[in-house]
Amino acid sequence: MTELINAAAAWPLLLMALVIFGAAPNLVLRVLLRAYPKHHPRRRELWAELRAVPRWERPFWVCEQLDGALFEGLRLRIRVRTTAKAPQGTSSQGVFVVNTVSSPVSVDAVAVTDLLSDGTVRRYVVPLAQLGTDPRLEE
Amino acid sequence: MALLEDPTGRHWGYDLSKRSGVRSGVLYPMLTRMLDEGWLTDGWEDPNTLTEKRPPRRYYELTDHGRLELGSVLQQARRDTRFTSLFSRLGTLFARYAR
């Protein structure tokens, strides 16, 4: 029993516990949240939710966010990146379809479908906060 | 079912995942889909009303449409024989919880 108490009080173990249940969940979550597009509300939401999770549960809860970050966040980020630029030699005809009801991203952003001069369309996502200032909508 | 326990109240992600037993990695995409379908509305806590020092959390509220849709989904599930044992077990659980 004494050995067990001594082992528990050993500083490397204590340090490891502090890291696992203290700083590590915050750090790992910050990295995971980077997978979501910049203005995605999930970034703020998960960061705020972490405070509601009991400290001993935090490492497990953060691990649970990994699949969400990979399959939801990273997928959205890739989609935003691949559809953001218009193909070379084309220009916008100024015809935009802005979809807020079934936006694939969130209620804080809108999906924009833009008709280009060569007849093709490009789709991208604009955060509501940037709707008035996004240069792609002013072309 | 966790949402319908308090159909007019505000629900938080972690709280919902605890009450429903659904992993948060599954729950958040579900909530996003329900938001897109118009079953839920969301909002952020007012930072001025917070007593502790923490960032404002995002909450979800059922819309009238969502209450109707979820109600009908639950009704269908209740009628489905595959879920009979589940509902009887949940009924016992809720009764114990209510006491």
CA atoms within 13 A on the CB side of B16: 23
Per the CB < 8 A criterion, the answer to whether A91 and A116 are in contact is yes
Of A45, A51, A68, the CB nearest to B54: A51
Query: Looking at residue A31, what is its pLDDT?
Result: 93
CB pairs under 8 A between A and B: 55
Whether residue A115 contacts residue A126, with contact meaning beta carbons closer than 8 Å, is answered with no
* Mean pLDDT value of segment B60-82: 83
Mean model confidence pLDDT for chain B: 80
Tell me phi and psi for residue A92, to 5 degrees: -75, 145
Q: A104 vs B38: CB contact, 8 Å cut-off?
A: no
CA distance A47 to A138: 34
Angle value at C-alpha A54, between A48 and A55, nearest 5 degrees: 95
Chain B residues whose beta carbon lies within 8 Å of the beta carbon of residue A100: none
pLDDT digit string, tens, across residues B12-28: 888 888 888 888 888 88
3-state SS, residue A133: coil
Between B84 and A86, the higher pLDDT residue: B84
> Shortest CB distance from A68 goes to which of B29, B36, B55?
B29
Three-state secondary structure call for residue B12 = strand
Residue type (1 letter), A111: A
Q: What are the tens digits of pLDDT across the range B24-59?
A: 888 888 888 888 888 888 889 888 887 888 888 999
The pLDDT value given to residue A129 = 67
Q: Which of B12, B38, B58 sits opposite A41 (nearest CB)?
A: B58
Query: Does B57 contact A48 at a Cβ distance shorter than 8 Å?
Result: yes
Chain B partners of A49 at a C-beta cutoff of 8 Å? Answer: 12-14, 57-58
Q: Cβ A106–B57 below 8 Å, yes or no?
A: no
pLDDT (0 to 100) of residue A102: 45
Q: Which residues of chain A have pLDDT under 50?
A: 101-105, 139
Higher pLDDT, A36 or B91: A36
Segment holding A139, helix H or strand E: none
pTM strictly above 0.80: no
